[in-house]
Chain A
Amino acid sequence: MTPAEPCRVFVVEDEFLVALQIEEDLAAAGYMVVGPFTSLASSLAALRTEHFEVATLDLNLRGEPGYPLVDALLERRVPVLLLTGYAVSDLPERYRALPRLTKPFDGATLIRNIASLLSGK
């Protein structure tokens, strides 16, 4: 990965004020943001067209659970970072092992997690 070809991060976050912050943080760290997408439908649509190396996902998209999106991403073997206000116990079993950041989080943590995900790829 070189700065000339910034790494693309697929961002799904229905809370646009939060998405804005994520976008700023990622951009500041040299990533390129794909999105942010605010709904399940728009995210799934974007999935088919966009290219990206890693994804950050909010699990509650305007009241809709984002699991189908997670499943689709996992199927594509895209590293996924969950960004959620839910406690781990609130998550379905199969998603509990996924990397996760609990809101609110600071930019540095987010970038460290993204980097970790990418290096583990």
Chain B
Amino acid sequence: MNSADVVHTCLAGDAGMSDLPDFRTALDTLPLAVYMTDADGYVTYFNAAAADLAGRKPILGRDRWCVTWELRRPDGTALPHDQCPMAMALKTGRPARGQELLAVRPDGTVVLLLSHPTPIFDRTGTLTGAVNLLVDITDRQRVEEDSRYLAAIVESSDDAIVSKDLNGIVTSWNKGAERLFGYTADEVIGKSITLLMPPGYENEEPNILSRIRKGERIDHYETLRQRKDGSLVNISLTVSPVRDAGGCIIGASKIARDISETKRAAEALTARLREQAALYSLAQRQQRSKDIAEIYEASLDAIQSALSCNRASILLFDKSERMRFVAWRGLSEEYRQAVDGHSPWTVDAVDPEPIFIEDTNLSDIAQELRSVIAAEGIAALGFIPLVAEGRLIGKFMTYYDLPHPFTANEISVALTIARQLGFSIERLRAEDARQRAQALLRRKEALERARAAELMAIMQAVPASIWIARTPDCRVISGNRAAYELLRQPDDANLSLSAPAGERPDNFEIFSEGRLLTAEEMPVQRAARGEEVPNFEEEIRFDDGSSRYLLGNATPLRDAAGEVIGAVAASVDITERKQAEEALQESEQRLQIALAAGRMGAWEWNPATGEVIWSPGLEALHSLEPGTFGGTFADFKRDIHPDDLPLVELEIARALESKQNYHVVYRIRLADGTIRWMEAFGQFSVPGPGRPVKLAGVCMDITERKEAESQRNLLVAELSHRVKNTLAIVNSIARQSFSTNPDAHEAQRSFDARIRALAQTHTRLAEANWSGVSLETVLSDELSPYQDADTNNITLRGPRTMLPPKHALTLGMAAHELATNAEKHGALSTQGGCVEIEWALDPQEKKLRICWRETGGPPVLAPKRNGFGRLLLERVLAPDLGGEVHLEFAPQGLKCTIDLPHPGGAFP
């Protein structure tokens, strides 16, 4: 009984569904499509399965005969709904069973179904409607199709598909099996499958059968079978148990596939995979490796694995460009030593090709190498060049115990490994170089840091002020301790005068050569513009009025490319030196002034070099233009008066020898012939190490002093002469006075008077500075004691006539004698007597005539004896003055005429 029958039975056995809601619910959830119509065929009920099958939701009371969208006959022709089995059942009142129909859903899908309509009659036998059960047989139909399809597949499959019973007896044998194993179905069916087992595989079948009996399935079991022709074939076997309808295992089906090709491919693939794995592993290890030995090990592993050789080696050129073993596997010490340095390529080989010797016995290897190779048991070998950065750096070698054909694949792999190894060596070498460079850099940096620290310490410690600008605009300038202290700024202050107001220092200003400098004119700023500023003097004037003077340099700071990136300046405080210098200058100036005022000059003589330096003042004393003095000792001697040169040379020699002060007075003769007196003082400089002995001193023009001295000496001599002459004269007067006059008393009186007269003239001469006295003065001095203003007894008449001292003295004495004679015996001895003195100058003849005439006195008598007066007049005056004296004792009075040469003529 199928499910449709159950439904029919249930429905048929019941009066109404409405009466049985539980039953209705069961219908609703039934997985079979069920619908009902009334007697006219209009749908009155459908369940969810019916709607699903129809692919639409039927409309109750409107859909008629069927719930489907469209119906077709199994041949595909359209079947109108009113002709469908349900319609026929309603119309005929007879049920239909299992008519095949195709229902087309609104979405176009087609469902194959079996229709089971059943008319429903009430108790009276009246048709009240029908119920239809639709069974979807789409899948069932597919199974049948599959079965047919499978049979075709089995028959046409390339795989051998064989079934056997539990005893291993073949029950089916397809075409694939015939092709694979060479036996036809007829030859095999009914025989044991062990027919296919090659020797050594006899145990396989019992194992397979025992596993099949246990219901196990054997998947893709690879094994070997023997064909009918005896050849072996690799197969992949899948064995599945075959059960009867009751589920009992009755045999096995097996599918065998020839996998010889697959196996070869797999082996090749495995080899590729191994190579790839080896290369991958090599790449991995090389990538990770930091050590060249590891690289070698990894490379040897890869070579051995990928190239299937059990011996290998790596050789690299050493510094002497000789190929050396760096890593190896399975090579004896003897072999390595024997072939050491052998290489098919030199270091400069370009694009070297690998060399493969497939059989050493067949190759043209040099004999001694051949024996070495043979002794090592090597039958084949490969030389694969290692290249890094385009240059041959070495090779790796593969060694085979047996002759070995090198496949293209192997060569390719070998080249790949060589490339990898080359890269790795290159990478490690680069890394090594980089590390060494880094280490060097680090050492350098450490050194730089140490140096920088040292420099910083030095910078802080030096007594010089240092300024540093780290940018070309000098907006910020820092300094060392000395700089901050000098500028009276705190350690963190910005010392730049270019800094913004409020940040820059404002307690000082900078001057140079008396001029205020702008910030841009500062040495450090000039240097920051690329200028070297050497020996710059500046004055810092602080706001408290004090000043410091600096002397320094500024230099640009440049980066490695030579770009100016700042500047540094260093200065020393030269204030004290400057002040000392100024003081020295001042004192030198004073000295120069003093020298000039004193008509002095300074000189210096270096006896070692013969160099003589004269100050401009000394040149002036020698009437030389400034700077024209020749500068040698000979130049110095040239002007010295020849008479004095020996003295000067002597003094210099003495000073040189004794190192005592030098002092000499000498004359110089100037170019115009003028003689000047010079007085020189010199002193040896204190000799010091490296300091030559120098004689330095001053020279004074003492001509005036010398002249004054000589004048004074002359005066003194003259005075001495005069005084002594005068004493001699007095001596003579005394003798004459006393010898010519017997009356001692009288003689004494006369002598006194004569000395007084002499003294009188001396006084006059002294008053006139011994330049001379007028004749009138001399005469009136002698005559004034006798003058009588009332009688006008004395007359002096003559032009103003100046007498030289000698004339004045002699004429004074003569006048004294004449006057005393007149007073004693002549005109002045009586009342009414008169003395008339007249004189005249004859400018042409340069003569002076003096006439003394007495009148009104007592009668004149010739003198009884020659007294001093007459002696003086006649024997002294005339010779003394080179003139003539005429005495006339006329009765009316004495007349004396004196004619004298007179040098000066008339004085104005």
The chain A residues found within 8 Å of chain B, CB to CB, are: 14-21, 24, 36, 38-39, 60, 62, 84-87, 90, 102-105
Contact = CB atoms under 8 A, between A and B. Distances in A.
A17 B882 contact: no
Contacts of A21: 728, 731-732, 735
B876 A60 contact: no
Q: Which of A14, A17, A86 has the most CB of B within 10 A?
A: A17
B729 A18 contact: yes
B722 interface: yes
A17 B729 contact: yes
A14 B875 CA distance: 13
A20 to B, nearest CB: 6
A29 B872 CA distance: 23
B713 to A, nearest CB: 7
Interface string B179-205: 000000000000000000000000000
Interface in B848-877: 871-872, 875-877
A46 to B, nearest CB: 13
Contact of A38 (B733, B871, B880): B880
Given A16-B879, A36-B879, 18 more contacts: A15-B728, A15-B729, A16-B875, A16-B877, A16-B880, A17-B880, A20-B732, A20-B736, A21-B732, A38-B880, A85-B724, A85-B725, A86-B721, A90-B717, A103-B724, A104-B727, A104-B731, A105-B728
B717 A20 contact: no
Contacts of B871: 20
B721 A38 contact: no
A15 B736 contact: no
Contact of A62 (B724, B731, B806, B875): B806
A50 B566 CA distance: 108
A23 B464 CA distance: 96
Given A16-B879, A103-B727, A85 B722 contact: yes
Interface residues of B, number: 27
Contacts of A38: 879-880, 882
Residue among B721, B728, B730, B882 with max Cβ neighbours from chain A (10 Å): B728
B882 to A, nearest CB: 7
A103 B728 contact: yes
A87 B717 contact: yes
Nearest to B722: A85
B731 A86 contact: no
A85 B875 contact: no
A16 B871 CA distance: 11
Nearest to B724: A85
A49 to B, nearest CB: 18
A87 B720 contact: yes
A103 B717 CA distance: 13
Contact of B721 (A16, A20, A85): A85
Interface string B716-751: 110011111101111111011000000000000000
Nearest to A85: B724
Q: Nearest 9 A-B pairs (CB), nearest first? A: A85-B724, A90-B717, A85-B721, A103-B724, A17-B732, A16-B876, A16-B880, A104-B728, A103-B728
Given A85-B725, A85-B728, A104-B728, A17 B720 contact: no
B720 A85 contact: yes
Nearest to A13: B728
Contacts of A104: 724, 727-728, 730-731
Nearest to A105: B728
Of residues A16, A19, A20, which shows the largest number of chain B Cβ atoms within 10 Å of its Cβ?
Answer: A16
Contacts of B806: 14, 62
B713 A39 contact: no
A30 B25 CA distance: 216
A110 to B, nearest CB: 11
A87 B714 CA distance: 11
B170 to A, nearest CB: 176
Contacts of B728: 15, 17-18, 21, 85, 103-105
A17 B722 contact: no
Nearest to B739: A24
Contacts of B735: 21, 24
A14 B724 CA distance: 13
Contacts of B729: 15, 17-18
A102 B722 CA distance: 12
28 contacts: A14-B880, A16-B879, A16-B880, A17-B732, A17-B733, A17-B880, A18-B725, A18-B728, A18-B731, A20-B732, A20-B736, A20-B871, A21-B728, A21-B735, A38-B879, A38-B882, A60-B725, A62-B806, A84-B721, A85-B724, A85-B725, A85-B728, A90-B716, A90-B717, A102-B724, A103-B727, A104-B730, A105-B728
Contacts of B736: 17, 20
A62 B881 CA distance: 9
Contacts of B875: 16, 20
B212 to A, nearest CB: 171
Contacts of B721: 60, 84-86
B879 A86 contact: no
Residue among A15, A86, A87 with the highest chain B CB neighbour number at 10 A: A15
A103 to B, nearest CB: 4
Contacts of A19: 879
A86 B882 contact: no
A24 B736 CA distance: 11
Interface in B15-29: none
A17 B810 CA distance: 10
A62 B725 CA distance: 12
Nearest to B878: A16
A20 B740 CA distance: 14
Contacts of A84: 721, 724
A82 to B, nearest CB: 12
Nearest to B729: A17
B644 to A, nearest CB: 15
A42 B722 CA distance: 22
A31 B731 CA distance: 21
A27 B410 CA distance: 167
Residue of B717, B806, B876 most packed against chain A (CB within 10 A): B717
Instruction: Please indicate which of the listed interface residues B723, B725, B727, B730 has the most CB atoms of chain A within 10 Å of its own CB.
Output: B725
A86 B717 contact: yes
Contacts of A60: 721, 725
A103 B876 contact: no
A15 B880 CA distance: 6
A62 B713 CA distance: 18
Contacts of A36: 879
Contacts of A24: 735
Interface in B790-811: 806
A15 B713 contact: no
A14 B764 CA distance: 22
B876 A86 contact: no
Contacts of B716: 90
A60 B723 CA distance: 13
A102 B723 CA distance: 11
A105 B729 CA distance: 11
B725 A15 contact: yes
A83 to B, nearest CB: 8
Contacts of A102: 724
Nearest to A107: B735
A85 B732 contact: no
Contacts of A86: 717, 720-721
Contacts of A103: 724-725, 727-728
A104 B872 CA distance: 19
Nearest to A60: B721
B158 to A, nearest CB: 163
Contacts of B877: 16
B730 to A, nearest CB: 8
Contacts of B880: 14-17, 38
Contacts of B876: 16-17, 20
Nearest to A19: B879
A84 B720 CA distance: 9
Contacts of A20: 732, 736, 871, 875-876
- Central interface residue in A14, A18, A39, by most chain B CB within 10 Å: A18
